[in-house]
């Protein structure tokens, strides 16, 4: 099985149909429908903003930190939705897998594309919010495209791995929920990376560097804030002078993607029997 098989006509049509169906069914029974795609991150942002920005004064020294907070939340939600939805996608399409012969990873990619559409809707809200808050548009905004691509590749690799494991280990869902909850607070989303450096004593700058090097989502959030909002949001290249560890998050994301795809490919031959 080769990832290039996704470009065959059969797989393209199936992928398009699955993405369309998944997105239409997501909020079919709700009163507000697709509006929830925007309301959910905005409601979470409002709570985080009131608690951490207004009362606890997180990010007081960072320009437009409210915009940075909203941007971080939708990036994390995209990562969460891609990995969690991908994890359950194979089991959720068990009937289809048993009836039709096709490339199994189309199911996981379809789930991730649905999350990507949701992210696109939310990103429009971020742009509007940024403009209202006085953030000036710049050509650097175009750099958000490779940054989101890195996040997508990293999340999709994890989704491949989780979906293959979830077929046999259904306890993985609550375990992953705990991991994602811990990851949210370990990633500089509700607080700036400079807060780690200043509040963690003598080892603060070291902890900040390690977070950016070992956590690709932290590096992605910082890069996105840097190119979209303000250069006061330092990137990993400003924290780590050595280019090899600075490039590690990107390398790690690629390793996760190809490793997850390889593991998924090996296990996919048994999916129809197990689901």
pLDDT in tens, 137-187: 999 999 999 999 999 999 999 999 999 999 988 899 999 999 999 999 999
Which alpha helices (H) appear in the chain, and where do they start and end? Answer: 9-26, 36-48, 65-92, 94-99, 105-132, 144-166, 172-186, 193-199, 204-214, 216-228, 236-239, 243-246, 248-267, 271-274
Q: How far apart are the first and last CA of the chain?
A: 20
- Give mean pLDDT, residues 39-51: 85
pLDDT of amino acid 10: 66
- What confidence tens digit (pLDDT) does each residue in 85-116 have? 999 989 887 777 777 777 788 889 998 998 99
């Amino acid at each position: 099985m080769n990832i290039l098989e996704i470009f065959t006509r059969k797989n393209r049509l199936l992928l398009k149909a699955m993405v369309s169906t998944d997105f239409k069914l997501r909020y079919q029974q709700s009163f507000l429908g697709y509006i929830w795609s925007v309301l959910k991150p905005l409601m979470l942002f409002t709570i985080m903003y009131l608690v951490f920005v207004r009362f606890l004064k997180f990010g007081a020294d960072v320009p437009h930190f409210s915009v940075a907070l909203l941007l971080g939340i939708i990036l994390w939600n995209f990562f969460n939705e891609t990995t969690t939805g991908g994890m359950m996608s194979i089991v959720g399409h068990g009937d289809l897998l048993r009836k039709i012969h096709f490339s199994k990873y189309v199911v996981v990619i379809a789930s991730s594309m649905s999350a990507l559409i949701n992210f696109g809707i939310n990103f429009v809200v971020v742009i509007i919010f940024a403009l209202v808050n006085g953030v000036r548009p710049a050509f650097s905004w175009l750099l958000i495209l490779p940054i989101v691509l890195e996040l997508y590749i990293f999340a999709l690799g994890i989704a491949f791995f989780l979906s293959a494991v979830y077929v046999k280990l259904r306890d993985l869902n609550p375990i992953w929920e705990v991991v994602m909850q811990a990851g949210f607070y370990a990633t500089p989303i509700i607080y700036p990376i400079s807060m780690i450096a200043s509040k963690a004593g003598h080892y603060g700058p070291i902890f900040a560097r390690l977070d950016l090097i070992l956590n690709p989502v932290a590096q992605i959030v910082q890069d996105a804030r840097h190119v979209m909002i303000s250069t006061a949001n330092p990137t990993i290249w400003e924290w780590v002078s050595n280019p090899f560890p600075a490039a590690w998050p990107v390398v790690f994301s690629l390793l996760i993607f190809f490793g997850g795809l390889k593991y998924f490919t090996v296990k996919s031959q048994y999916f129809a029997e197990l689901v």
